[in-house]
Amino acid sequence: MFEKVFLVFLIVAAIIFIYWLNKRLNLELGSELLGDIANLESSQKKEIERLKERVAVLERIVTDSGSQLSAKIDRL
């Protein structure tokens, strides 16, 4: 009789432990995922800023080249 009770207790304890372990691992993975998402957003924001700076430089080149070309034509 004692062995059956002990066996039932052991099975219930194992189920509870597995459930607890699963929840703990899911929470840890979730926080890892949030960290990865934050890093990705940060790198994307940096990339966007870098691209905006490049577009601004290209706009300056295009507008300056146009005015320089106009000045060269006027000199002719």
- pLDDT score of 50: 94
Tokens representing residue 60 in the block: 């300056």
Per-residue pLDDT of 29-72, as tens digits, reads 666 666 777 788 888 899 999 999 999 888 877 777 666 767 76
CA dist., res. 32 & res. 60, Å (int): 42
Interior angle at CA 21, CA 7 and CA 15, nearest 5:
25
Q: Is the pLDDT of residue 18 over 70?
A: yes
